[in-house]
C-alpha cells in the first residue's frame, strides 16, 4: 500500500467510524480544535494526519486506536 493509498484508507475509516457514532463533522470539530474543512480533507485522504491528532480524533469518537490498525491488518 502506498502512502497515498494509506491516507485515503485512513480517511475512509475515520469517516465510517464517525458516521457509525452518528456524529457530524461539525460535532467532532466542536470537541476537537480542528476546522471542519480540515476534517473533510482528512476523511478524503487529502490531508496527512499525525499519530497524535489521530489519537485525539479517535478519543472524541470513543474508539480505541487499536481498532483502526486491527482493521488495517484485515484489509
Quote the percentage of the chain above a pLDDT of 90: 65
What's this model's pTM, rounded to 2 decimal places? 0.85
Q: What is the mean pLDDT of residues 12-33?
A: 92
**Dist CA 32 CA 56 (whole Å):** 7
Given this model, what pLDDT does residue 71 score?
67
- Predicted confidence band of residue 73 (pLDDT cuts 50, 70, 90): low
C-alpha cell at 32: 476537537
Is residue 70 within 8 A of residue 15, CB to CB? The reply is no
**Dist CA 7 CA 19 (whole Å):** 18
**Dist CA 60 CA 4 (whole Å):** 25
Domains of the chain plus CATH, in order, are: 3-73 (1.10.260.40)
Task: Tell whether the model's pLDDT for residue 53 goes beyond 60.
Answer: yes
Given this model, what pLDDT does residue 33 score?
84
Quote the percentage of the chain above a pLDDT of 70: 93
Is residue 25 within 8 A of residue 19, CB to CB? The reply is no
Amino acid at each position: 500500500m502506498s502512502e497515498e493509498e494509506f491516507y485515503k484508507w485512513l480517511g475512509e475509516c475515520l469517516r465510517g467510524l464517525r458516521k457509525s457514532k452518528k456524529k457530524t463533522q461539525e460535532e467532532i470539530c466542536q470537541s476537537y480544535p480542528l476546522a471542519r474543512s480540515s476534517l473533510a480533507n482528512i476523511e478524503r485522504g487529502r490531508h496527512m494526519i499525525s499519530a497524535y491528532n489521530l489519537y485525539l480524533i479517535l478519543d472524541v469518537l470513543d474508539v480505541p486506536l487499536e481498532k483502526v490498525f486491527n482493521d488495517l491488518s484485515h484489509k
